[in-house]
Amino acid sequence: MLKENDSALFVKIRNLWRNRFADKLMPEKRSAVVAVEAFPALCFRHDMDSCNRDDLLHFIEQEQEFSVPSTCFFLRYQVKEAPDLLAELSASGHEIGLHSEARPFWNTSLVQLLWFVEIGYRRKLRRQVNWLRRRGFDPQGHSPHSINNYLGFQNWINWNVIEQATIGSGMKYISDWRIIASTPEGAPDFPEPLPPFYRVLNLRKILVIPTSWDDKFFFSSYEDRFIRKNTNSAYKGRSLKEALDNIAFQLGLCIKAGIPFVVNLHPYNGLRGKVEFGELKTQLIEMAKDRKIPVLALNDLAERLALKNREVSPENR
Residue 65 predicted with pLDDT over 60 = yes
Distance of CA 174 to the CA centre of its chain: 6
Residue 224's pLDDT band, with cuts at 50, 70 and 90, is very low
Neighbours of 25 (CB within 10 A): 15
Over residues 259-267, mean pLDDT:
94
The domains found in the chain, sorted by start residue, are: 26-95+173-224+234-308 (3.20.20.370)
- The sign of the torsion formed by the CA atoms of 57, 63, 64, 70 equals negative
Question: Which of 103-117, 146-160, 248-262 is modeled with the greatest confidence?
Answer: 248-262
pLDDT recorded at residue 96: 97
| Mean pLDDT value of segment 107-118 | 58
Give the pLDDT of residue 20: 65
Q: How confident is the model at residue 303 (pLDDT cuts 50, 70, 90)?
A: very high
Q: Count other Cβ atoms within 10 Å, centred on residue 117.
A: 23
* Res. 239 pLDDT band, cuts 50 70 90: confident
Helix (H, G, I), strand (E, B) or coil at 269: helix
Amino acid at 219: F
Question: Would you say residue 316 has pLDDT above 70?
Answer: no
Share of the chain above pLDDT 90, in %: 48
Q: Averaging pLDDT over each range in 99-108, 231-240, 294-303, which range is the top one? A: 294-303
Q: pLDDT for 114-124, tens place per residue?
A: 577 788 888 99
pLDDT of residue 117: 75
Position 106 scores a pLDDT of 55
> At 307, is the pLDDT very low, low, confident or very high (cuts 50, 70, 90)?
very high
Contact of 217 with 181, CB cutoff 8 Å: no
Check residue 269 and give its pLDDT: 77
> What global pTM score does this model have?
0.84
Strand 71-74 relative to strand 95-100, pairing: parallel
CA angle, 113 then 119 then 121, to 5°? 85
pLDDT at 295: 98
| Cβ within 8 Å of residue 279, ≥6 positions away | 240
Q: Which pLDDT score, from 0 to 100, does residue 18 have?
A: 61
| 255, 294 Cβ separation under 8 angstroms | no
The answer to whether residue 208 scores a pLDDT higher than 50 is yes
User: What are the Cα distances from residue 252, in Å, to 51, 290, 317?
Assistant: 31, 12, 27
Read off the pLDDT band of 30 (50, 70, 90).
Answer: confident
Q: What was the pLDDT predicted at 171?
A: 96
